[in-house]
Structure 1
Amino acid sequence: MCVKVLPTVVAIQGKHVNVDEVCSWCRMFREDDMHVMFECSFAKQVWEAVGLQRLVDVQQNDTVKKVLKRVLNTGTTDQWIMQRAKEDGNKHHNHNSTGIQNWSKPPGGWIKINVDAACRPGDDFVGAGCVMRDDCGKFLRASSTRIRGKMQPKMAEAVSLREALSWTKQWRSNKCIFECDAKPVVDAVNGARGKSMFDTIVEDYSYLLKHYKEVLITFVHRSANIVAHKMAQTTYSETDLKEWYDYTPDFISCNLALEEI
């Protein structure tokens, strides 16, 4: 595109070929290189889909080369890393031969917090657990707590993530990736919300996320979230667990999580 060899309709017309100059994607505007790359509605959807639409700033009298150069000069490394982390988190990209997804390390400089909930019919509480690890896969902290109330699994997952966001900000407020195996919860966080009780809980995330400089909430397969699930299950073995119980690397009772890690 930078050397103007892409066969857009305008380029083909320049070679004296009789073709319709209207874009074959949007069917609205003249198809030149700037339109194909940045201005077409389809092109904008592509940039948005990869999370880079805000970096593509098209100005008057721009050329493709000018726009790309400006994007590469103004896009920080962290912005590109954040997008890569988001893509990795939303893809089932790390499967073994049995089709089971394995836990994967976060990008350099980031930490990953896996979150899960455990609930049993008839109980008046749900268990919540989370495990924090760094970009080397090293265990940092883990926590478990009981959250009072009878809840369906979807609601329990939403409340657990809310509590994990609140707990984590005590230790870390930037470059955090929260992984959750409840896709409806992740979709609600990253998309439109309604007016149900579930949506009200998700709305609380907006306040908590203000405490973070860079944060992602992504979906992960349950098989890659097993440690957090075990932490949530420990709440059923404790006789009186009312608040977040903190497990650090030197806390010997954390063997359950450490062995699995």
Structure 2
Amino acid sequence: MEEKQDSWFWIGDDKGVFTVRSYYRWLTGEFASIHASFWNRLWSLKVPGKIVNFLWRMCRGYFPTTNALAMKRVDISINCPWYHNGVETDGHVIFGCDFAKNVWKNSEVKHLVHYDLLESTFEVLSRYFVACSINQCVLIGMICRSIWNRRNKWVWERVNGSVFAGKHRSKHADGWYKGSLVAARCSQVEGSWSPREAEAISLKEALSWVKELELKCCVFEIDSKVLVLACNGQGGESYFHIITFDCIKLLKHFDHVLVEFVYWSANRVVHELAKAAHSMPGLGEWLVTPPDFINHELDKDMS
């Protein structure tokens, strides 16, 4: 046999000659089966239609991210509106943002989710959906939509919070439970305050206490709508708003936090604790075992 020097050979053409046409044919032929598997699995998911539609829009690049809006000549910053740590693309919102990373890290599919900055959301989901079970695909889809919803809550309403329900729940941040009581506290604060200022001071005291307990994932349920709106970005110049600003700074110490409004009837445990504070000479604090005077309301609240 005659010896010849090694040379490059393009496998996509019988003659070994590279052309754009041959490359396109090779590319579409290789990935056609992967795309078909992904779309078939997506449309077969047993989830509400709005979830499937959301995932389809995400894969098609139809999200109104700041980067997408800037490309359409909208005068807007392209940085992530949450953490300002990068350009807000589809992939950044769902997988790359610090908030999203924390969500995936605490999910049941954390070992499956890996994101590269150079990948599109379609490429990421295609890889997941082909490799994962149906149930895992459903969970991934639901988390993606929840992250996007939370992003919109922050952008349009300045509401910050967790995708998950919360590992600990609070009654006005005075009582914490997860199936059973974690901790409860009540005390008197000297001074003459308006009702909304008293609510804000109570929240500030509770936040400081919860920070000391190192609880990172919390839902604060408050029956003062004015205070909830102020904590979620409705500012002002009054003394009430100054106290609220301190609360907002404390809220930043939590990994996942939500401040939400509940009706007085759903907040009875707190009011029982507040009543007890008037008859106590000092601080009242209980860990694990609740005081007798809130047991009845606590049982009704957990049932």
| Range class of TM-score, shorter chain | 0.5 to 0.7
Q: TM-score, normalised by structure 2?
A: 0.48
Q: 1:176 to 1:148 in 2, by over 3 A?
A: same
Q: TM-score, normalised by structure 1?
A: 0.55
**C-alpha offsets along residues 104-132 of structure 1, whole Å, 9 cap, x if unaligned?**
xx9466211111xxxxxxxxxxxxx7110
Bigger Rg, structure 1 or 2: 2
Q: 1:73 to 1:190 in 2, by over 3 A?
A: closer
- Matched to 1:130, the amino acid is D
Give the unaligned 5+ runs of structure 2: 1-34, 36-59, 75-80, 105-142, 153-162
Q: Percent of aligned positions with the same letter in both sequences? A: 27
Note if contact 2:94-2:147 (Cα within 8 Å) is conserved in structure 1: no
The residue correspondences of 1:69-218 to structure 2 (distance < 5 A) are 71-74=93-96, 75-76=100-101, 78=103, 107=164, 110-115=167-172, 130-134=174-178, 137-218=179-260
- Matched to 1:222, the amino acid is W
What is the CA-CA distance between 1:186 and the residue it aligns to? Answer: 1.1
Structure 2 residue aligned with 1:228: 270
Count of equivalent residues: 180
What's the secondary structure of 2:274's corresponding residue?
Answer: helix
What is the CA-CA distance between 1:256 and the residue it aligns to? Answer: 5.1
Root mean square deviation of aligned Cα? 4.0
What is the CA-CA distance between 1:167 and the residue it aligns to? Answer: 1.1
What is the CA-CA distance between 1:211 and the residue it aligns to? Answer: 3.1
Note if contact 1:231-1:257 (Cα within 8 Å) is conserved in structure 2: no
CA distance in 2: counterparts of 1:70 and 1:189, whole angstroms: 26
Structure 1 residue aligned with 2:288: 249
Q: Which structure shows the bigger proportion of residues in strand conformation?
A: 1
1:57 aligns with 2:88: yes
What's the secondary structure of 2:241's corresponding residue?
Answer: helix
CA distance in 2: counterparts of 1:52 and 1:204, whole angstroms: 20
Q: 1:84 to 1:229 in 2, by over 3 A?
A: farther
**C-alpha offsets along residues 149-176 of structure 1, whole Å, 9 cap, x if unaligned?**
2222111111111111011112134111
Relative contact order, higher structure (CA 8 A, sep 6+): 1
- Matched to 1:168, the amino acid is V
Give the unaligned 5+ runs of structure 1: 3-32, 45-50, 59-66, 88-105, 116-128
